[in-house]
Amino acid sequence: MKKVLALGLVFCLLFLTFAGCKPAETATADATAADAAAADAAAADTAAPEAAQSADTGVLNVAIAADIAPDSVTEWTKMFNTDYPDVTLNVMLEDASNYEVTLEPLVAAGEMPDVVGIGCTDWFATLADKGYILDVSGTPGWDAQLDVLKDMYTSRSGVHFAVANGVETELLYYNIDQFTQAGVTSVPTNWQEFLDCCQKLKDAGFQPLAVAGASPNNLGHSFISFGIAHEIVASGFDPDWNVKARDGEYDFSTPEWQAVLNKAVVLRDAGYFQRGYESADLYECMREVSVGEAAMTIQGSYQTGNIIVEGGANIGITTVPWNDPGKEQVGIVIAGDGYAMGKNTTGNVDLATKYFNYVSFEHADVYQNMSGTIPPWKDAAKDMPNAKVNDKLKAAWDASNALVTKSLEPQQAFTAIVYEQVKQFVQAVILGSAEPSQIGDYLNPAQQEYLATLN
């Protein structure tokens, strides 16, 4: 009996493997041709990549994130293999919320893939300073980027280290129908209107705001972004706080910092969060909004495709009204994850550059179409003519982009050590186990530890 079951399982495995099998995607290449490939690649003509198949040979090791738009990886591999049939492309999959897990072992071994997907964080900037990531200025992708993205992807010592796959911001997603039913006639444009809106929703029996209480990662993006944007940047207190913190001593226990999460606490204490928010993870939070169990959520614009789903609720998008009445809204600028070129271990710099241009610029629309992100180009019409962006997202993005004052998202502003504590702190506040005034207790020790590593 058990033997039959075992055979059955093996059969299932084989069936599923071959049912899902597409024709082999890796082209063949002689691994020892790597040396010859350098000469070949240098001598190969630089015809437009969309043209006839190239005669380049060699091996490339690349790493691309696979959890937001997993099909983009296979699409690119297929296209690249068609255009460069003699190149062996080895693709490693990364987890976009945790690049470190895949890349730390490589760094420990002193290596980096030829082309690597990275995030816009301080750690990657440090890697660029140390030479693990190469300078990519001069590539078409870098030149076509928005200036603000160029700034964000420049390391301390001036290395231009990546091309973004999109430009993002934090937006408010709301349920249009529930707004109407609750009597909310216009989208809130300041904090007071936002509170009134939440109250009306609550009175009408809806759950006003969905929050991912179980995900420090997600919490570290939303509320505190706007807290910092308004209390620290727009108020004029310390617009360059992130540079100062990176270069020296910084005190996070000043009254301005202690007020950063005050508004989040107001929401928490008024009971506007959805039921079960303490254990809701990002998936649950977005699911509740897409099916209509909660009315609003504040998420990054890159989540549009996950919140506005087919067959889901009627969702609208707008900028986040964190501003006090009479004050201006502040926009959050987020550099999407990017593509970088790693310290070259296979020796095929030219080939690597070709693949880099492939994914970062020439065929960047593959990722864009699957994820719905905003193109990172100064002239999107020219550089990505067939970009598919959700209309509502485009409108909201334009509105956010038009805001005069901009602030950075915490993950891209804090150093890694401090950001870990930021995440924990925001979660503690949202869950009620800490108060905003304790921000110094969380962040200052981390800042001290960070400074100790600079010596």
Partner 1 sequence: MRKDSVRVPSARRVCLERQDMKKTRHVCYYKSIWKWNGALMALPGIVLIVVFIIVPFLMNVGYAFTDYNTASDVPRFIGLTNFRNMAKDRDFWLVCTNTLKLILTYVIGGNVIAILLGVMITNVGRKFGNFVKTSIYFPQLLSMVVVGFLWRIMFSYNNGPINHFLEWIGVPPDLLPQWLGVPALIIPSISTALIWLISGYYSIIYHAGMMNIPMSYYEVSAIEGASKWQEFVHVTLPFLAPSITINTVLLTVESLSAFAVPASMTGGGGPGRYGTTLALWSYTTYFNNHQYGKAIAISVVLGLFAVVLAFIELKILLKKEVGNS
Partner 2 sequence: MKRARTKSLSWQNKHIGSRILLLLFTIFVLFPILLAVLNSFKPIAAIQRNFLTFDLKDFSLSAYDKVITILRFGEGLWNTTVVTLLSIVMTVLLGSLMAFAISLVNSKFLRTVYMTSILLICIPIHAIILQLVPLLKSMGILNTYFGTAFVFTALSLPVAVFLYTGFMRTLPRELSEAAVVDGCSLWRIYTAIYMPLMKTITVTVIILRATYIWNDLLVSLVTISDATKTMLVPRMYAFNSSTSTRWDLVLASSVLVSLPVAALYLFLQKFYMRGLVSGAVKE
In sequence order, the 6+-apart residues with CB closer than 8 A to the CB of 109 are: none
Interacting span for partner 2 (CB under 8 A) from 93-101, 239-247, 392-400, 447-455: 93-101
Q: From the CB of 101, what's the least distance to partner 1, in Å?
A: 5
Select the residue interacting with partner 2 from 38, 97, 140, 440 (CB under 8 A): 97
- Tell me: does residue 161 bind partner 1 (CB under 8 A): no
44-69: b or e for each residue (b if 16 or more CB lie within 10 Å)? beeeebeeeebebbbbbbbbbbbebb
| Contact code string over 267-296 relative to partner 2, x by CB under 8 A | --------------xxx--xx--xx-----
Edge-to-edge strands, sheet with 331-335: 167-168, 331-335, 406-408
Q: For the residues of 269-319, what is the DSSP string, one character each?
A: HTT-BPTTGGG--HHHHHHHHHHTSSSEEEEEGGGHHHHS-TTS--EEEE-
The vertex-256 CA angle with 250 and 261, nearest 5°, equals 105
Between the alpha carbon of residue 192 and those of residues 46, 68, 141, 197, 204, the distances in Å are 58, 35, 42, 8, 18
Tokens read off for 94: 């990364």
- Tell me: does residue 135 bind partner 1 (CB under 8 A): no
| Contact code string over 421-450 relative to partner 1, x by CB under 8 A | ---x--xx--x-xx------xx--x---x-
Q: Please check whether residue 401 is in contact with residue 374, taking contact to mean a CB–CB distance below 8 angstroms.
A: no
- Tell me: does residue 205 bind partner 1 (CB under 8 A): no
Interacting span for partner 2 (CB under 8 A) from 32-40, 64-72, 223-231, 406-414: 64-72
Q: From the CB of 107, what's the least distance to partner 2, in Å?
A: 9
- Tell me: does residue 130 bind partner 1 (CB under 8 A): yes
Residues 372, 378, 382, 383, Cα dihedral to 10°: -60
| Contact code string over 11-30 relative to partner 2, x by CB under 8 A | -xx--xx-xxxx--xx----
- 299 vs 285: CA distance, rounded Å: 10
User: How deeply is 290 buried, as exposed, middle or buried, from its count of CB atoms within 10 A (0-12, 13-18, 19+)?
Assistant: buried
Within 10 Å of residue 377's Cβ, how many Cβ atoms? 23
Which of 158, 276 has the CB closer to partner 1? Answer: 276
Select the residue interacting with partner 2 from 34, 41, 63, 201 (CB under 8 A): 63
Residue ranges in contact with partner 1 by CB under 8 A: 2, 98, 100-101, 104, 107-108, 123, 126-127, 130, 132, 213-217, 275-281, 284, 288, 293, 416-417, 420, 424, 427-428, 431, 433-434, 441-442, 445, 449, 452-453
Binding site for partner 2 (CB under 8 A): 2-3, 5-7, 9-10, 12-13, 16-17, 19-22, 25-26, 61-63, 65-67, 70-71, 73-74, 90-98, 101-102, 105-106, 108-111, 113, 215, 217-218, 281-283, 286-287, 290-291, 306, 309-311
